[in-house]
Amino acid sequence: MTRTTVVIPARGGSKGIPNKNLVHLGGMTLVQRAVRLARSVTASVVVTTDSEEIMESAMLKMPDLIPVYRDKDLARDDTPLDPVIVNAASQVSSDIIITLLPTCPFVDLVSIVDATITGPVAQAGDSRSQDT
């Protein structure tokens, strides 16, 4: 059986909008909206953050999520997303990792399921994605 995990990266520091992952939209914080959607996809949900406040907000929606607190080198403004996701994914045993950004609150379940089903198949058949 294929095991799927959703990883939600939610850094506390933000230059543009301080604590943007805690901004309320429709009665929930952005990170809570992401957790709610992730929970509808799989029981394996990881939130990776450098903020206790963000983790507490996320756990209000899903107390059994997998918390991953980032090291400072993974929480800088210039840190790319890939190492953050790899670090979080290394905490679980999964065949498929889905990244769900809290700052994209209008992503829906259909988009996630579609990407999960067609993404790996499309990539495997796409010769441009293979190393040469």
Judge if pTM exceeds 0.75: yes
Q: Could you give all domains of the chain from N- to C-terminal order, each with its CATH number?
A: 4-129 (3.90.550.10)
pLDDT digits (tens, 9 = 90+) for 15-51: 788 899 999 999 999 999 999 999 999 999 999 999 9
pLDDT of residue 113: 81
Closest CA to 116 of 84, 88, 94, 86: 94
Closest CA to 98 of 26, 7, 1: 7
Strands 66-69 and 4-9: unpaired
- What distance in Å separates the CA atoms of residue 6 and residue 112, rounded to the nearest whole number? 10
Tokens of 69: 């607190």
Maximum Cα–Cα distance for the chain, whole Å? 49
**Could you please report the per-residue DSSP string of 61-94?**
H-TTSEEEEPPGGGSSTT--HHHHHHHHHTTS--
pLDDT tier at 119 (50, 70, 90 boundaries)?
Answer: low
Q: Please tell me which residue, 116 or 101, carries the higher pLDDT value.
A: 101
pLDDT tier at 13 (50, 70, 90 boundaries)?
Answer: confident
